[in-house]
Structure 1
Amino acid sequence: MAADKTPLKLPKENLGVEDFLPLLGTDYVELYVGNAKQAAHYYRSAWGFQPLAYAGLETGLKDRVSYVLQQDKIKLVLTSPLKSGGDINKHIDAHGDGVKVIALWVDDARQSYIETVNRGAESYMEPRVRKDAEGEVVLSGIHTYGETVHVFVERKNYKGVFMPGFRNWDPLYKPSDLGLKYIDHMVGNVGWNEMDKWCQFYAKVMGFSQLVSFDDKDISTEYTALMSKVMSNGNGRIKFPINEPAEGRKKSQIEEYIEFYNGAGVQHMALATDNIIETVGSLKARGVEFLTVPSSYYEDVLDRVGKIDEDLAPLRELGILIDRDEEGYLLQIFTKPILDRPTMFIEIIQRKGAKSFGKGNFKALFEAIEREQESRGTL
């Protein structure tokens, strides 16, 4: 694996160009974890991710090991340190397992870096080229909230398994996939009064626009509240809701997250499916635990959302929530935290035309989260 680390000059003449950061989609999400081998087993066994690529001692890496898993368009990279000390260890010590990299697929990683750094982004990685016999991948990166980073990935000249430095990973154990298709959105939790700062960052630095906002009147219960704004890139393929705490009688889920994560970070990934009943049924059968809402939720839900294609009985049995907007409706459900710290969880979502985020479900969802917080003694 060869890397070109020639310093880049940053021309300033193109700052006003519209759509200055065209994004093709989410390339991968990298989590720093305490034990990548065991985490990879979990995401294969419970979630149906398929083994794709591996890098470690056998490929010449001395300080870390990474397993790459894929399900349709979703790629997860699970990375653990091989030695004590170092940045990965510090990240895990501070945050527990968590998302470090949200990698974005681009046509030109050099230009993506120039455009974002010129607009005020802090550099994480100057453009570098990784090469092997299968071609080359260009990478660059910038910092965002907390210790989360965006890496721009240009892979148009690469035909290998993942990227240079990785080899094919093809173990015998391959549980079937569960119908997960792509990352619908990824949610970041930030500290008190930091939501607007980071929304402005995505607007100014990356050209995103605000899709929708929710205040503490929308997202509140008797005890807790939060604020949220959803930022989206031009083609709508990348959507980042940003949450901050709001004043409430007790500690909100955002405050709990920030306390245990030790700062801002990715709260959850929303993974899309075309058949949420089959997907969630299979996930439950494999041991994934979801938040539950009272059965009374379903007594008047169809009065609120109108006619849907699905029978209500399996949705009620699985605890799947329903909401509608002007474009259609959606079905969604949220896991309990998938880590020992009450930090990251996963949402499963099926869109039947709706482009919103389930505003009508917020109260039932947050009351379910509060019940979990109370059981942990952190409400």
Structure 2
Amino acid sequence: MTYYDKGAEPEGPGRYVAFDHITFWVGNAKQAASWYCIRAGFQLLAYQGLETGEKEVVSHAVRQDKAIFVFKSPLNPGNDVMGVHQSVHGDGVKDVAFSVEDCRGLFKKAVERGARVVREPWEEKDENGTVVFASISTYGDTTHTLVERTNYNGIFLPGYKEPRASDNLQKMLDAQFPVGLNFIDHVVGNQGDEEMNDIAEYYEKTLQFHRFWSIDDDLVHTKYSSLRSIVVANWDESIKMPLNEPAPGTRKSQIQEYIDFYGTPGVQHIAINTGNIINAIRSMRARGMQFVNVPDSYYEDLRAKLAKSKVTVKEDLDVLQELKILVDFDDNGYLLQIFTKPVQDRPTLFLETIERHNHCGFGAGNFKSLFEAIERDMFDRGTSVETPQKK
């Protein structure tokens, strides 16, 4: 496990500020948005569709504090681009948008350094101001949109309107089971075998991100499978993009299972930060969210390790065990994390909830336990098969 020196600050223009929003292409945007509101505690933020004058693509934006998800679906037959994407990938993340200070300048520099253009800079405006956008591609069919909203004060983006009032069920759940997620902590992309380094170098070269953290299969493996991971980040380290690839094992890894079902590299999971993970998970469980199961033996081992550690976990370990929340720690601090089961029928995208206490890692100490839990689910799905070994 390695942390990196981020080196010299890149020269302008402007900065990559933070995650702006994440766009999903789904079969039914209205139902997907409702699911995230009911199960994960998001609230309707903004809408664009037939009632707002948009005739081709419907968009439902939901928000929880600073975390914004946008669900899009085609409105008409014959939308070949979205139709093919849905056929290949199923529901999934199409775009991870970054808030930036100088969209045109950063786009120009990225392209000069080799970024693959999806769309040249463009403007959208309404009565609330103007937003500048530009898009580049990253791994698989995933894109990054740069969003400069300095001169905009609307609810979300131009063309979006206030949503219709939330229903009584959502109001009741929000009152009784508030979740309290705060912001996108990181977004993980799964890569094919031996493709991770190339895409990490793409981020370093084109966006001038730096390597923040990495781990190899010597540290992350089970009896059957393993992974390698590199995390790239912007200069301020407010945007972190972990990149995973499968490593050789006797059975198919969860990374390869993702690639097989998604069809290409893509976003595997989205981690959302919270200041109170116990409350968040209690509420999400009450709302019907399903999480990966962890055996009680994990907590027996955890208690033994913490007894020898300099770090004190302030949360009640009995409660963490009851809720199946994982703990990772070093000499300086600790983090708490938990992972949902896949949030659609294909075993691809899932969510992570994370709470940090002076710990900027990604739960390397829990990777084995997480892998073993997912391997149990893969066995239930019938996808935990033996893999041919390279000679």
Alignment of 1:292-307 (within 5 A): 292-305=293-306, 306=309, 307=312
Give the structure-1-normalised TM-score: 0.94
Q: CA deviation at 1:89?
A: 1.4
1:28 and 2:21 aligned: yes
- Residue 20 to residue 241, structure 1, CA distance change in 2 (3 Å): farther
Distance in 1 (CA, whole Å) between partners of 2:63 and 2:239 is 18
The 10-residue stretch of structure 1 (302-311 or 123-132) with the greater mean CA deviation from structure 2: 302-311
Is the 8 Å Cα contact of residues 99 and 147 (structure 2) preserved in structure 1? yes
Corresponding residue for residue 325 of structure 2: 320
- Cα contact 1:227–1:245 (8 A) shared by 2: yes
Structure-1 separation of matches of 2:73 and 2:41: 21
Measure how far apart 1:162 and its partner are. Answer: 1.0
**Match of 2:104?**
110
Go from structure 1 to structure 2 and tell me whether the alpha carbon gap of 1:225 and 1:20 turns closer, same or farther (over 3 Å shift): farther
Deviates more, 1:183-192 or 1:173-182: 173-182
Of residues 74-83 and 163-172 in structure 1, the stretch that sits farther from structure 2 once superposed is: 163-172
Q: How does 1:188-199 map to 2 (within 5 A)?
A: 188-199=189-200
Q: Is the partner of 1:255 in helix, strand or coil?
A: helix
Q: Deviations over 1:228-272 (max 9, x none)?
A: 111111101000110111110000101100000001000000011
Question: Which residue identity does 2:313 align to in structure 1?
Answer: I
How far, CA to CA, are the matches of 2:269 and 2:10 in structure 1? 32
Corresponding residue number in structure 1 for 2:94:
100
Q: CA deviation at 1:18?
A: 2.6
Distance in 2 between residues matched to 1:149 and 1:214, nearest whole Å: 25
Residue 345, structure 1, aligned to residue 338, structure 2: no
| 1:336 aligned counterpart, secondary structure | coil
Give, in whole Å, the separation in 1 of the partners of 2:13 and 2:221: 37
Conserved in 2, the CA contact under 8 Å of 1:337 and 1:344?
A: yes
SS of alignment partner, residue 46 of structure 1:
helix
Name the CA shift for 1:19/1:294 in 2 (closer, same or farther; >3 Å).
Answer: farther
**Contact conserved, 1:21 with 1:115, CA < 8 A, in 2?**
no
Separation in 1 of the partners of 2:331 and 2:241? Answer: 21
SS at 1:94 equivalent? helix
Cα offset, 1:359, TM superposition = 1.1
Change (3 A) 1:39 1:17: closer
1:243-258 equivalences in 2 (<5 Å): 243-258=244-259
Give, in angstroms, the shift of residue 344 of structure 1: 0.3
The answer on whether the counterparts of 1:224 and 1:248 sit within 8 Å (CA) in structure 2 is: yes
The one-letter code sitting in structure 2 at the alignment partner of 1:325 is D
Q: Which amino acid aligns with 1:81?
A: P
CA distance in 1, matches of 2:125, 2:52: 14
The answer as to whether partners of 1:126 and 1:141 remain within 8 angstroms in 2 is yes
Residue aligning to 1:202? 203
Unpaired segments ≥5 residues, structure 2? 1-8, 385-391
Q: What secondary structure, in the 3-state scheme, does the structure 2 residue paired with 1:197 have?
A: helix
Structure 1 residue 115, shift from structure 2 partner = 1.2
Contact 1:21 1:207 in 2 (8 A): no
Preserved contact between residue 32 and residue 97 of structure 1 (Cα < 8 Å): yes
Q: Is the 8 A contact 1:325 1:356 kept in 2?
A: no
Contact 2:103–2:133 (CA under 8 A) maintained in structure 1: yes
Rounded Cα–Cα distance in structure 2 between residues aligned with 1:267 and 1:283: 20
Equivalent pair of 2:10/2:235 in contact (CA under 8 Å): no
TM-superposed deviation, 1:63: 1.4
Q: Which residue of 1 aligns with 2:281?
A: 280
Aligned equivalent of 2:49, options 38, 48, 56: 56
Give the alignment of 1:265-276 within 5 angstroms. 265-276=266-277
Q: Decide which of 352, 355, 360 is 1:355's aligned counterpart.
A: 360
Please give the secondary structure, in 2, of the residue aligned with 1:161: coil
> How much does 1:218 deviate?
1.4
Equivalent-residue separation in structure 2 for 1:300 and 1:21 (angstroms): 47
Give the Cα–Cα distance (whole angstroms) in 2 for the partners of residues 377 and 118 of structure 1.
46
**Shift in Å at residue 181 of structure 1?**
0.3
In 2, the alpha carbon distance for the partners of 1:337 and 1:256 equals: 12
Distance in 1 separating the partners of 2:189 and 2:14:
20
Amino acid at match of 1:60: G
Give the match for residue 42 of structure 1: 35
Please give the alpha-carbon distance, in whole angstroms, between the structure 2 residues aligned to 1:83 and 1:327: 54
Aligned mates of 1:21, 1:298 — CA distance in 2: 46
For 2:114 and 2:43, locate their aligned partners in 1 and report how far apart those are by CA, in whole Å.
38
Query: For the Cα contact (< 8 Å) 1:224–1:251, is it kept in 2?
Result: yes
2:315 aligned residue = 310
Query: Aligned residue for 2:218?
Result: 217
Q: CA–CA distance in 2 between the matches of 1:184 and 1:326?
A: 22
Q: Following the alignment from structure 2 to structure 1, what is the Cα–Cα distance between the partners of residues 245 and 301?
A: 31
Aligned residues: 364
Match of 2:237 in 1: 236
1:331 and 1:351 in contact (8 A); partners too: yes
Corresponding letter in the other structure for 1:304: K
